[in-house]
Amino acid sequence: MRVILRVTVAALVWSGSLGPALAHGCGHQLYDHSCHGPCSCGAEASRRSGTGAAAGWAADLRTIEGKIVEVIYLPGGTPDMGMVDIKVQTNSGTSLLVRLAPTGFLKQGGLRLQEGDPMTVKAFTVAGMNGDVMVATEVTCKGTNMRLRGSSGQPLW
């Protein structure tokens, strides 16, 4: 009885917004972004077109310069699988939330992030339940440059 209940709960979670978001790898799986319809990151369009590239993400790619005001470690299946977000105050004074990559991937690349660090990030915008989120494709901090996504916008981890 317990096994059936656990499988049922897991199926319900997967069939909701979490499963489809994880399945297309857009990197903003913790945000409600209507993956049952067109996804704001373009992954739905890429599945329909068969291109494998997130349609439109490159057109929205921009470079952000500023300083880290907060490093946010989101939970994952293991400590190294949890995603890392940062809040960045840009040089123009705007505060942005930027989704980076799993903790383990950042450690592997030697990227160490601390509040107050100046940084540069290339990112595109996705709409989320809690407001817009920037999804990073490349980060430079304290002399370390790290690519997080390939030319099609897909994660490199």
DSSP assigned state of 128 = E
Q: Is residue 154 part of a domain?
A: no
- Its domain, for residue 34, covers 2-49
Domain co-membership, 64 together with 123: yes
Taking only Cα atoms into account, the Rg of the chain, rounded to an integer number of angstroms, comes to 16
Give yes or no: residues 32 and 84 share one domain: no
| CA 8 to chain CA centroid, nearest Å | 28
Q: Do residue 69 and residue 138 come from a single domain?
A: yes
Q: List Cβ neighbours of 72 (8 Å cut-off, separation of 6 or more).
A: 84, 85, 86, 87
For residue 100, being part of any structural domain is answered with yes
The pLDDT tens digits along the chain (157 residues) read 444 433 333 333 333 333 333 333 444 444 333 333 333 344 433 333 333 344 566 778 999 999 999 999 999 999 899 999 999 999 999 999 999 999 999 999 999 999 999 999 999 998 888 788 899 999 999 999 999 999 888 999 9
Residues 68 and 137 in one domain: yes
Same domain, 128 and 81: yes
Q: Would you say residue 157 lies in a domain? A: no
3-class DSSP state for residue 47? helix
